[in-house]
Amino acid sequence: MLTVTLRGLERDGLVLRTVTPCTPPRVDYELTELGHSLAHAVQVLGQWALVHRGKVEQARRTFDDRIGPMRDRGAA
């Protein structure tokens, strides 16, 4: 799953992937200029998530009480 996510970010131009041929192979990732341009937006989203964490958790409990926990349906 992590590999798929990183490849998607690479495809979108947000990260640069560098493979160093050694044993074992080494793969490094770094943000591109485009990736760095998201820093502020990600910080704002993170702050929003912290402020609204309780409301999100309550919404999940309400949903789970009505439908059943997501883990019962094979989701993470």
The structure's pTM equals: 0.66
**What pLDDT sits at residue 30?**
97
Percent of the chain residues topping a pLDDT of 70: 92
Domains of the chain with CATH codes:
1-36 (1.10.10.10), 38-76 (no CATH)
pLDDT digits (tens, 9 = 90+) for 48-71: 999 999 999 999 999 999 988 776
From residue 70, alpha-carbon distances to 31, 52, 62, 73 in Å are 33, 20, 12, 5
The secondary structure element, H or E, covering residue 16 is: strand 15-20
